[in-house]
Amino acid sequence: MTQPLFDRIGGMEAIMAATDLFYEKVAADPVTSRFFDDVNMPNQVQKMVAFMTWAFDGPSEYKGRDLRSAHKHLVAEQGLGDEHFDAVAKHLVATLQELNVPQALIDEAVGIVATTRDEVLDR
Ligand code: HEM
């Protein structure tokens, strides 16, 4: 049986390193950073770790809001759309590449994240 992607990526340590680096990139990119102006980042990173663990089939109970509820106001009030989603996906790929995650696992991770697009963009 195939191990969960969470374990193949390197477990909690790898997910936490990836989430930190990922948010550094999102915060440094003018396309994505404005959405996080009023957001408590340490808090956000924690939620993202929990979410990533869940998405990658690891041992987590994600207790945050569902993705539609969490992003609905960003779509309605700040114009969150495909270009922002694409930028976030690009930062995720760059992050995993920097951490030397094998490309096949990166493709798998991005595939999982891609399934959330319509929910995040409230469609
Ligand atoms: C790529 C898929 C995405 C996933 C898996 C994701 C995941 C999450 C999660 C788990 C939360 C926390 C939910 C909670 O508070 O309970 C969240 C909140 C948030 N996300 Fe995303 N997100 C995605 C895309 C995006 C994009 C494209 C942007 C903007 C560029 C964005 C901006 C935000 C912001 C600003 C919040 C905080 C909202 C608030 O607390 O008011 N997200 N996201």
Model confidence over 59-113: pLDDT tens digits? 877 777 889 999 999 999 999 999 999 999 999 899 999 988 899 999 988 998 8
65 lines ligand 1 (CB under 6 A): yes
CATH number of the 5-120 domain? 1.10.490.10
Share of the chain above pLDDT 70, in %: 99
Q: Residue 21 phi/psi, 5° resolution?
A: -65, -40
Q: Are 50 and 57 in contact (CB under 8 A)?
A: no
**Where residue 1 falls among pLDDT bands split at 50, 70, 90?**
low
Q: Where are the domains of the chain?
A: 5-120
70 C-alpha to ligand 1 centroid (Å): 6
Answer whether 34 contacts ligand 1 (Cβ < 6 A): no
> CA-to-CA distance for 22 and 18, rounded, in angstroms?
6
DSSP-based three-state secondary structure for 71: helix
Looking from the CA of residue 32, the nearest atom of ligand 1 is 30
User: What span, in angstroms and rounded, lies between the C-alpha atoms of 103 and 18?
Assistant: 15
CA of residue 58 to ligand 1 center, whole Å: 20
> CA–CA separation, 85 vs 25, rounded Å?
14
Atom of ligand 1 nearest to the CA of 73: 41
| Residue 71 Cα to ligand 1 middle (Å) | 6
